[in-house]
Structure formats: C-alpha cells, structure tokens
Amino acid sequence: MTQGCECSFPVEGENFDEAGKVSVEIKKMLKKIDIPDDVVRRAAIATYESEVNIISYAIQGTVNLQVTRDHILIDIQDTGPGISNIEQAMEQGYSTANDHIREMGFGAGMGLFNIKNCSDTFEISSEEGKGTHLKILINR
C-alpha cells in the first residue's frame, strides 16, 4: 500500500467480544502508510468510538475507510434506532447506555464528543427507527 486505499468493514451490533477489532485493523493499515502519528492516533480513536457505538446501540453497521493523498475519510453507517436529539447526544456525559454496557466501562457519554474532537470535519445525521450516519474527515 502506498498513498491511498478504500475499504469497508462490517460491524455487528451487541457483539462486544469483537469491540475494537476493526479499529485495530484500520490503525495497523494506516501505520503502514506514510501518515503522521497524530493523524493515525485521531483516526484510531474516532474509529474505535464509532465501532463501539454500533455495537452498543445498533443492529449492524459498516465502517468505510477512504485514504487519499490529502485526507482520511471514515464514513460510518448503521441500521438501528437512530438518535432522536443529536444536540443532546453530542453533549459530553449524555448517554442512553444500559447497565450492562456501563459495567464494561462503555457508555460514559464521551463517544461522539471524542469523535468530534478527533475530526477536522465532522458530520452526523440520523433518522429515528432507521439509523445513524457519521462522516469523519481528518486531514493528512
């Protein structure tokens, strides 16, 4: 792999055993390309939080990764309950996680906040009863 790539990873809802698998794989891929450490670090955090969100709340989802000469685009789409109030969901500490999720140390209401912090451009859209779509752009 030289400058760029495009690939897609499925993520299964409720499968906590696999949490982090996609992010670790993506991080390893990015480290093989000539990308600054800080950019890899931010992409890894954003992917991890997105992956955990799918597992925690959605039925299934897909992490699409596009690496170009200028940027890394992480595009995440899930099928699930969606988010009724995006503004509230973006607040640090706001969470709808159940006790099981919280006991494992997830669901602290920091996921979307962390993702936004790691992005140069962040877009989120959601439809109740259908799913959520995130677009995370990080400049190289």
Partner 1 sequence: MDMAFLVEKLGLTVRCGGDRLDREVSGGYAGDLLSNVMAGSKSGDVWVTCQAHQNIVAVSVLKEHAGIILTQGREPDKNTIERASQEGIPLLVTELSGFEIAGRIYNLLHP
Please report how close the Cβ of residue 20 comes to partner 1 at its closest, in angstroms: 2
Beta bridge partners of 74: 65, 136
- Of residues 13, 20, 90, 116, which one binds partner 1 by CB under 8 A? 20
Pick the closer one to partner 1 by CB: 3 or 19: 19
Pick the closer one to partner 1 by CB: 49 or 78: 49
Angle between helix 37-57 and helix 21-32 axes, rounded to 10 deg: 160
- Do 136 and 50 touch, CB atoms closer than 8 A? yes
For 97-129, give one letter per residue: b (16+ CB within 10 A) or e.
beeebeeeebbebebbbbbbebbeebebebeee
Site for partner 1 in 59-118 (CB under 8 A): 104-106, 108, 110-111, 114, 117
- Of residues 49, 58, 131, 136, which one binds partner 1 by CB under 8 A? 49
Pick the closer one to partner 1 by CB: 2 or 11: 11
3-state secondary structure 18-55: HCCHHHHHHHHHHHHCCCCHHHHHHHHHHHHHHHHHHH
Pick the closer one to partner 1 by CB: 106 or 131: 106
**Residue ranges that bind partner 1, judged by CB under 8 A:** 16-17, 19-21, 23-24, 27, 37, 41, 44-45, 48-49, 52, 104-106, 108, 110-111, 114, 117
